[in-house]
Structure formats: C-alpha cells, structure tokens
Structure 1
C-alpha cells in the first residue's frame, strides 16, 4: 500500500463556516436595522443599544471598520452592553484579530451567559489561536443546550478540537454526530474523512470524502485529500481523475499546483 503523503499544517475550514452561519442570526438579533444616517435615538433605548443598531446597519453595508467605531462609542457610554461586546468580538474575529475578539466575547458571556452566539464565536476565536482545549471547554456546553440552533456546528468544531488534541476516537464520535444532525453538511464529511485518513482507516475515509465531494463538488481540498486516499489504496486511475479535477478548479493557486504535481506523478 502506498503511504499517504504528509501535508503541511492547515487550519480546518470549520471556523470560517461557523462565522458565515452565525451572521444571519447576528443581523436578526435586533428588532430593526436602521440606515446609517437620518435616525434619531429613541427615548426608550440605551446609548449602547442605539450604537449597536447602527453597527448592524453598517455590517449590511460591508463597513466593518465603521461598525467597530460605532460599537466602541456605545461601549464607552455603557460598557455592560453584552451584544455590543459580542458584535465587536464577532467583527474582530472576521478580521482575524482573534486576541481582541476573545476579550470582547468573554466579556459578552460574563454579562449574558445565555448568549449562545457569543459562545460559538468565542470557541471559533480560540480555534483561530490554536487554543484547542480552551475552544473545547467553551464548546462542550453547547451540545447540552436544547436551544442551540446549530448543533452540527458545535459537534463539528468539538470533533476538530479533539483531533488536534490527539483524541481521535472522540473526534470521530462528534464528527459523526455533526453529519447525523445535518445530513448535507459537506464540511462535516470532509473533516471526518481527514480524521479517518489520519487513523489509517482508508476505506472509511474514502467513503466520507466521496460524500463531501458529492455535496461540494468544487471544493478542491476535498479532491486533493480524496486523491491521496485513492493513491494509498492503489486506485491510481481514480486518483489521477480527482487530481485533474482539483487542478482545474484550483488553477493558478498553490493547491492547484500540488494537484498538478500529483497528477503528473501517476
């Protein structure tokens, strides 16, 4: 059996998916999203709430820096506004400033322990910092939370944390739960395929990566991993075909070059 080629370290795309899935919930959390100009603060809302609403409007307009400035003004007036801390942390996470994100998200949870969005985002920020145990400790309460609207994301990220911590058995268990909760979760199948591949369970890895490919046919990284598994199983023709597809999808990138090299070696 051909040995599986080692890969350079790469971060799972779980955090990115988590951020994208949280955004709709974030933007719907305020009753009204005002336009950037022409709105006066109502007598009923706090200054921080007013600036929080202004910030959500700026996010709709893809003005993250302006939104952060608006939130900072509000928090200067009321440092105990949990959702402003949450939104600040969320935006810093999107800008890959994970250290600053953690500060705001931890504060948001201290102020409102039931703010599930903040817990999800805090875990994602810890993952961005490769603080796997902190991320795991943050995520585990979510799988016991009946109001958590995205249990598959929690199980996916828990599974990845266990994988990075070297506990492959628990990693597989949680990744299996992720795809149980969401049958068409291609990221879950992809991550599960990677863990099974690392454990040497190549046939099982092949099945999961093929399922990921079926759901997300243009994800080049899945094709590269699947090609490696085919090659390790001496299915060189299948490996060459998926490497070729990967090369075409990722043309002009380093990933595309790796696929091209593997295709040419068979």
Structure 2
C-alpha cells in the first residue's frame, strides 16, 4: 500500500502567493491564510506540470515545472511539483533539494515553511527512503496547520511510516485519528487491518478489511491479508 503524497492540485495551490508585495503570512497557517493569485503564469505552469505528470509524461511535466520555478523562484508549490517529478524519475538528490526549497523561508517570507501539502510530500519521500524517524516530524508539522483540508492523509501516512519503523502503538494512534477525520479513508482502513494482524487481533483485522471492501476495490495485497486473517481465525475455506 503506497503512501498518498498529495491532495488534488487545487488544494495545495493555496500554499502559494505570487504577489511580490504580499508578505503578511499567518504564523500558524503560512500562505494558506493569505490572499492568493491563482492566475499567475507560475501557477499555470504548475497546473500543466501536474496534468502531464498524471498522464505519465514526465519529460513535459518536468519542463513545465522548471518554467514555473523560473517564472517565480519563490513559489513554494513550483518547487514542490518539481520535487514530486524528480522523485518519480528516481532523481533523489534533485527531489530532496526541491522539497527542501519548497519549505524554506527567506527574509521576505516568499517561500512557505507551513505548507501542509509540501510537508506531507517531503515526509512521504523520507519514509519511502526508509528515513522513518526523520519523516514523522514533517507529518506532525503538516497537522499543525488548521487550514489543512486533508489531515487524514498526513495522519495515515504517519501511521504507515510508524508501522514501518516497528512502532505499532504509534501507528495505531495516527491511524485511528485519521479514521476519526475520515471514517471511509481506504488507506487508513487497510493500514489498521495490518496493525491489528501484527498485534494478533484477527477479528479486528477482519472488521477493518470488511470496512475497506465497502469503500474501495480489493487489491491483491488486501486479498492476501484477508486470506492470512481468515486462516488465523480457522476459516480455511
């Protein structure tokens, strides 16, 4: 089960301000609480990069993302999309640099360190590399922004990361919080099934798998866990 890096593009575009004179960021929400300029050329290139990335055309997506950065080097989301593309291409050094740049804050506050979508993306990237302890604080920072529209994504990613680190108790805590925010979030339901199975709580694992099937199509990974769970419960059929 893969990490979920981002919400739809229109959500994390809210983390960008392209007006050079706009520096009045809220200390808790960053640019999500500031006036936005969605019609800037930089944001247009970001949208194009996102569309080409979804189509699997990473060469064109990379070209558009680079143009977004060129048009506005202080657009944090331009660096964020650039990082996502580099990550998909396996260019980890360039991806890391782009992610870090998306979260920097310079003296004029032209890049946003409180963008929850960028924080979630960078945390997911670190978790993918096996840097679990480094990743978790980025999810926590994303969750501190009260304007974050999809906190269950960061919570589920944090749960996954904690489970990979071997901390089932922490994983359970994150995942239950994700399901409090979004009871039908398939990723969290599946991750909770895996946690319950690892804890030896097979009836509970079955219940989470049943809830998963109510909201999402079964995957090979989910079906295999279902088989293992039923065998533990003595249902060899």
TM-score tier, shorter chain, comes to 0.7 to 0.9
The residue number in structure 2 matching 1:53 is 44
Alignment partner for residue 78 of structure 2, among 80, 84, 87? 84
8 Å contact from structure 2 (residues 103, 115) kept in 1: yes
Larger-Rg structure: 1
The residue number in structure 1 matching 2:147 is 147
The residue number in structure 1 matching 2:5 is 18
The residue number in structure 2 matching 1:182 is 182
Q: 1:108 and 2:94 equivalent?
A: no
Deviation at 1:91, TM superposition (A): 2.1
Paired with 2:64 and 2:155, the residues of 1 have a C-alpha distance of 34
Query: Structure 2 matches for 1:1-266, cutoff 5 A?
Result: 12-13=1-2, 15=3, 17-19=4-6, 21-26=7-12, 50-61=41-52, 62=55, 63-73=57-67, 75=69, 79-110=73-104, 111-237=111-237
Q: Deviations over 1:131-170 (max 9, x none)?
A: 1112101111222321111111111111112112221111
Q: What runs of 5+ residues in structure 2 fail to find an aligned partner?
A: 18-39, 105-110
Paired with 2:49 and 2:175, the residues of 1 have a C-alpha distance of 36
Structure with the higher helix share, 1 or 2: 1
Q: 1:220 to 1:214 in 2, by over 3 A?
A: farther
Paired with 1:164 and 1:97, the residues of 2 have a C-alpha distance of 23
8 Å contact from structure 1 (residues 89, 104) kept in 2: yes
TM-score, with normalisation over the residues of structure 2? 0.76
Paired with 2:184 and 2:219, the residues of 1 have a C-alpha distance of 14
Paired with 1:141 and 1:58, the residues of 2 have a C-alpha distance of 26
Q: How many residues align?
A: 206
Paired with 1:54 and 1:78, the residues of 2 have a C-alpha distance of 10
Deviation at 1:218, TM superposition (A): 2.9
Deviation at 1:106, TM superposition (A): 0.9
Paired with 1:217 and 1:173, the residues of 2 have a C-alpha distance of 25
Paired with 1:200 and 1:52, the residues of 2 have a C-alpha distance of 48
With a CA cutoff of 8 Å and minimum separation of 6, indicate the structure with the bigger relative contact order.
2
8 Å contact from structure 2 (residues 12, 77) kept in 1: no
Moved more, 78-87 or 191-200: 78-87
8 Å contact from structure 2 (residues 193, 206) kept in 1: yes
Deviation at 1:74, TM superposition (A): 5.1
SS in 2 for 1:236: coil
TM-score, with normalisation over the residues of structure 1? 0.68
Deviation at 1:73, TM superposition (A): 4.5
Paired with 2:9 and 2:68, the residues of 1 have a C-alpha distance of 21
Q: What runs of 5+ residues in structure 1 fail to find an aligned partner?
A: 1-11, 32-48, 238-266
